[in-house]
């Protein structure tokens, strides 16, 4: 009996000791948590006190504190910045009536058919208006689909259709810019093959999320065609902010045509930016073709590379006498000579159609069906 009593006594003492140890552990943990919470609370109180006290920006001015007036002023600044952002987006996009957009919602075959029909129509218009084209027919940036019957874009339908519409507008602008009776050869209207770029984001339903990560030539899904190019060098494109579709117009004509084309683009108020203009002497074969064909159509004999003598910028003949000025002597008239001839040149106009890019592209359509 004495042994049983001792066992119960020791068990009771052990249980009390274990309970005391557990209570000590819990007390320590609770104290640690309390200390951490108390420290965080003191930091929060200090931070609130600092904000209420304000920060000294200008020693001569009162501290800037978190008062209702300052909060209202800060909110007004945020609203003003948002309004400015909207204004900038509207300025980039241009007026709605001046934008060139696509509402295409069909399938690949329908887009391929539209491209074929558009190119055929532009060619007929060029022939009807006596606009020369190279023997290798102009495909207006869609050679990969025109030369391969039955092929069509496999993605980014809306953006490719938008390119088709922009090219049509540029072609019309060039036709309208041609001076009456002057020669014009359309060598090509080139575009970026955006549908072949890997990693190109599709557009959202509002058409404002489209963006391009221009790849290196080696990363293209397919080899570029002669009427395609990869945008390089200076560009107004800014990923996430400003998107663009790049084009290139190559033609042979007079300077008057170039000047009229640039003015037409500018006066249209469409969101185009011209990034570069290249001027070079036309290749001899181009001059020969234009001389043989163009001059015959005008009823003039082919003479030299440029055909009939072009009108001079600085006249070889003396102008009519101006009242109040002494008449030129015969010797001075004979000394006058043509300095610059208004001859044919090969022009390459690089331009981009720009538009704002939405900040969030979530929910963007894939552009495929």
Output phi, psi for 17, to 5 deg: -65, -40
Contact indicator for 209, 358 with CB cutoff of 8 Å: yes
Reported pTM: 0.64
The CA distance from 271 to 277, in Å, is 18
Contact indicator for 128, 75 with CB cutoff of 8 Å: no
Confidence (pLDDT) at 287? 83
Nearest to 319 by CA among 327, 309, 311: 327
Q: Give exposure, 266-296, as e/b (b: 16+ Cβ within 10 Å).
A: eeeebbbbebeeeeeebeeebbebbbeebbe
Length of the chain in terms of residues written: 369
Please give the full DSSP string across 256-285, using - where no structure is assigned: HHHHHHHHHHHHTT-SEEEEEEEEEPPPHH
Confidence (pLDDT) at 57? 67
Please give the full DSSP string across 230-259, using - where no structure is assigned: ---SS---BTTTEEEEEEEEEEEE-HHHHH
Contact indicator for 248, 165 with CB cutoff of 8 Å: no
Nearest to 228 by CA among 246, 252, 211, 202: 246
The CA distance from 253 to 179, in Å, is 10
- pLDDT by residue for the chain (369 residues), tens only, comes to 555 667 777 677 777 777 777 777 666 666 666 677 777 887 877 776 776 666 666 677 677 776 777 788 888 999 998 888 788 777 777 777 888 888 888 898 899 999 999 999 999 999 999 999 887 789 999 998 988 877 888 888 889 999 999 999 999 999 999 988 889 999 999 998 888 876 666 654 444 455 565 555 554 545 667 888 887 777 888 877 888 899 999 999 999 999 999 999 999 999 999 999 999 999 888 888 777 655 444 333 333 333 333 333 333 333 444 444 455 555 555 555 554 566 889 999 999 999 888 644 433 333 443
Nearest to 200 by CA among 239, 250, 162: 239
Task: Provide Rg for the chain, Cα atoms.
Answer: 37
Confidence (pLDDT) at 306? 36
Nearest to 158 by CA among 200, 119, 207: 207
Contact indicator for 48, 41 with CB cutoff of 8 Å: no
Confidence (pLDDT) at 364? 39
Q: Is 145 exposed, middle or buried (0-12, 13-18, 19+ CB in 10 A)?
A: buried
Confidence (pLDDT) at 71? 80
Grouping H, G, I as helix, E, B as strand and the rest as coil, residue 215 is coil
The CA distance from 363 to 339, in Å, is 62
């Amino acid at each position: 009996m004495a042994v049983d009593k001792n066992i119960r006594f020791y068990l009771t003492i052990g249980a009390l000791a274990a309970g005391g140890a557990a209570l000590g552990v819990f007390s320590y943990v609770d104290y640690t948590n309390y200390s951490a919470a108390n420290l965080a609370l003191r930091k929060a109180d200090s931070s609130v006190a600092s904000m209420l006290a304000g920060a000294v920006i200008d020693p001569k001015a009162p501290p800037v504190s978190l008062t209702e007036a300052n909060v209202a002023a800060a909110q007004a600044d945020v609203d003003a910045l948002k309004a400015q952002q909207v204004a900038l987006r509207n300025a980039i996009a241009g007026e709605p009536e001046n934008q060139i957009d696509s509402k295409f919602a069909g399938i690949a075959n329908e887009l391929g058919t539209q491209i074929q029909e558009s190119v055929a129509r532009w060619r007929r218009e060029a022939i009807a208006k006596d606009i020369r084209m190279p023997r290798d027919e102009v495909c207006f940036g869609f050679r990969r689909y025109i030369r391969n019957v039955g092929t069509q874009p496999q993605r980014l339908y809306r953006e490719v259709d938008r390119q088709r519409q922009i090219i049509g507008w540029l072609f019309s602008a060039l036709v309208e810019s041609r001076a009456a009776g002057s020669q014009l050869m359309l060598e090509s209207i080139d575009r970026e093959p955006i549908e072949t770029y890997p990693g190109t984001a599709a557009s959202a339903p509002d058409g404002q999320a489209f963006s391009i990560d221009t790849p290196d030539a080696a990363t293209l899904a397919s080899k570029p065609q002669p009427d395609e190019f990869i945008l390089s060098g200076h560009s107004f494109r800014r990923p996430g902010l400003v998107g663009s579709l790049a084009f290139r117009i190559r033609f042979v004509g007079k300077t008057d045509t170039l000047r009229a084309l640039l003015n037409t683009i500018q006066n249209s108020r469409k969101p185009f930016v011209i990034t570069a203009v290249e001027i070079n002497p036309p290749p001899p074969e181009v001059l020969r073709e234009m001389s043989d064909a163009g001059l015959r159509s005008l009823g003039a004999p082919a003479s030299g590379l440029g055909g009939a003598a072009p009108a001079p910028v600085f006249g070889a003949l003396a102008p009519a006498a101006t009242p109040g000025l002494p008449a030129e002597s015969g010797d001075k008239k004979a000394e006058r000579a043509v300095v610059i001839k208004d001859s044919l040149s090969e022009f390459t106009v690089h331009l981009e159609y720009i538009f704002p890019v939405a900040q969030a592209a979530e929910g963007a359509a894939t552009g495929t069906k």
